[in-house]
């Protein structure tokens, strides 16, 4: 099976389009090794099934977080996006299992390979947006500047166009015998893999800029936890995704190896699963464990410098929602007691829990929060 992250076409040992004896209208089977080597049912199917189960757990996890937040009015669409990324990887695993089971079906192999390349772009965009939020927190005037917005929108448009170009080039490679056309398709794939690898690393550049520029305003904190932890989580997630992208890019630039020669180590199955599914799983579970839905949340309607700084009413509303989310089922608020202080008042909230003593349901305990 071929992979759009590699050559996906037919080239000789010098990296030039090879002359093939195949004829017809295609699709034509590749004559060079792709990342992952030849499909083997006894190896590829069990490993892919394990990854598919892990992606299923990830999908359930991120959707549960999204639904839980939605019930308490905590809007964070990125959890749904991470769910979508997990689902795309499940589809990829299903297609890969099917293509391994029927290795002669070139069309199925093309579809599986395209899904491998497409799904990860969701995380590319998520990391870019979170990096932008960090930049706006450190330098509001820079992060909210119109030029920064235009640069981001231009980058998104280029990503979409590049993805479309790579898909067309990969598919066309399997349906043409023209040496000139294959040469053009390979050049487009080299450009696409390089550009996407650069995009995968862009959040690191944005974070570096945020820390390098002298700060003239106080830090506009957002979400839960320390800003240093937010930066650490994003750097770790971006590094994992970029590692996979740059590895695929590097193997694309290597001289294609024909099937008549042994499979190189850098194209082995271990490398395929580690730098494709492996880094994706680590990133998804990292973001789930570190609760990015709380750390990277910003106020609804935030727009312009200062909008990340929630006012007092917003803070009270968030605190009330957090209390409601953490309060066990079956608890009821009994009332409040106000204690005078020197410069302020201290409010004690009484909460009754009727399920604390299972041996005597009629007995309740009073907790002071």
Q: Which of 91, 87, 154, 82 has its CA nearest to residue 124?
A: 82
The CATH code of domain 41-295 reads 1.20.1070
* pLDDT at residue 217, as a whole number: 81
Q: Count of residues for the chain? A: 369
- Range of weakest confidence among 4-8, 28-32, 42-46, 156-160: 4-8
- Range of weakest confidence among 33-42, 74-83, 158-167, 302-311: 302-311
Q: Are 202 and 155 in contact (CB under 8 A)?
A: yes
Give the CA count within 13 Å in the CB-facing half-sphere of 263. 15
* 173-204 pLDDT tens trace: 888 888 899 899 999 999 999 999 999 999 99
Q: What is the mean pLDDT of residues 277-281?
A: 96
Whether the predicted pLDDT of 78 surpasses 90:
yes
Residues of the chain with pLDDT > 90, as a percent, come to: 53
DSSP annotation string for 108-132: HHHHHHHHHHHTTHHHHHHHHHHHH
Alpha carbon distance 164, 213 (integer Å): 36
Alpha carbon distance 43, 307 (integer Å): 53
Q: Which of 38, 4, 28 has its CA nearest to residue 267?
A: 38
Alpha carbon distance 102, 39 (integer Å): 9
Question: Higher-confidence residue: 353 or 43?
Answer: 43
In terms of average pLDDT, the best of 205-219, 241-255, 295-309 is 241-255
In eight-state DSSP terms, residue 281 is H
Sheet of 345-353: strands edge to edge? 331-340, 345-353, 365-368
Alpha carbon distance 224, 230 (integer Å): 9
Whether the predicted pLDDT of 320 surpasses 70:
no
Tell me how crowded residue 291 is: count the other CB atoms within 10 A of its CB.
Answer: 16
* pLDDT at residue 24, as a whole number: 60
* 88-147 pLDDT tens trace: 999 999 999 999 999 888 888 888 888 888 889 999 999 999 999 999 999 998 988 999
Residues of the chain with pLDDT > 70, as a percent, come to: 77
Question: Higher-confidence residue: 305 or 315?
Answer: 305
| Domain segments of the chain as ranges | 41-295, 328-368
* 333-358 pLDDT tens trace: 444 444 444 444 444 444 444 333 43
Q: Are 27 and 175 in contact (CB under 8 A)?
A: yes
The pTM assigned to this predicted structure is 0.77
Beta-bridge partner residues of 176 = none
Whether the predicted pLDDT of 62 surpasses 70:
yes
Q: In this structure, is the dihedral angle defined by the CA atoms of residues 298, 302, 303 and 305, taken in order, positive or negative?
A: negative
Alpha carbon distance 369, 353 (integer Å): 12
Q: What is the mean pLDDT of residues 278-298?
A: 95
Q: In this structure, is the dihedral angle defined by the CA atoms of residues 125, 119, 241 and 201, taken in order, positive or negative?
A: negative
* pLDDT at residue 366, as a whole number: 38
Q: Are 242 and 204 in contact (CB under 8 A)?
A: yes
User: Model confidence at 22, in pLDDT bands (50, 70, 90)?
Assistant: low
Whether the predicted pLDDT of 270 surpasses 60:
yes
Q: What is the rounded average pLDDT for all residues in the chain?
A: 81
Q: What angle do CA 219, 221, 224 make, to 5 degrees?
A: 150
Whether the predicted pLDDT of 275 surpasses 60:
yes
């Amino acid at each position: 099976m071929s992979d759009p992250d590699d050559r996906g076409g037919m080239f000789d040992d010098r990296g030039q389009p090879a002359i093939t004896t195949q004829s017809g209208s295609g699709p034509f089977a590749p004559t060079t090794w792709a990342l992952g080597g030849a499909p083997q049912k006894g190896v590829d199917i069990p490993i892919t099934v394990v990854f598919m189960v892990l992606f299923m757990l990830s999908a359930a996890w991120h959707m549960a977080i999204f639904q839980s937040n939605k019930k308490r009015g905590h809007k964070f669409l990125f959890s749904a996006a991470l769910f979508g990324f997990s689902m795309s990887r499940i589809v990829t695993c299903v297609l890969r299992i099917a293509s391994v089971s029927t290795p002669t079906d070139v069309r199925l192999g093309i579809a599986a390979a395209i899904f491998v390349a497409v799904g990860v772009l969701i995380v590319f965009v998520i990391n870019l947006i979170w990096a932008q939020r960090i930049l706006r927190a450190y330098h509001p005037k820079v992060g909210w500047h119109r030029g920064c917005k235009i640069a981001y929108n231009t980058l998104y448009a280029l990503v979409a166009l590049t993805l479309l170009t790579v898909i067309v080039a990969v598919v066309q490679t399997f349906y043409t015998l023209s040496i000139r056309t294959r040469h053009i398709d390979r050049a487009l794939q080299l450009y696409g893999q390089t550009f996407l690898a650069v995009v995968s690393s862009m959040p690191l550049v944005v974070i570096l800029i945020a820390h390098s520029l002298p700060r003239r305003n106080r830090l506009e904190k957002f979400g839960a936890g320390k800003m240093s932890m937010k930066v650490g989580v994003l750097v770790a997630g971006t590094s994992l995704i970029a590692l996979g992208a740059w590895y695929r890019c590097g193997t694309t630039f290597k001289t294609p190896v024909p099937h008549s020669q042994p499979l190189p180590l850098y194209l082995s199955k271990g490398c395929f699963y580690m730098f494709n599914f492996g880094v994706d799983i680590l990133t998804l579970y990292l973001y789930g464990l570190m609760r990015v839905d709380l750390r990277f949340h910003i106020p609804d309607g935030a727009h312009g410098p200062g909008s990340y700084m929630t006012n007092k009413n917003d803070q009270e509303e968030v605190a009330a929602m957090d209390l409601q989310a953490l309060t066990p089922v079956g608890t009821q608020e009994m009332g409040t007691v106000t204690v005078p202080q020197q410069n302020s008042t201290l409010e004690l909230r009484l909460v009754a829990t009727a399920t604390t003593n299972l041996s005597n349901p009629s007995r309740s305990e009073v907790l002071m929060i």
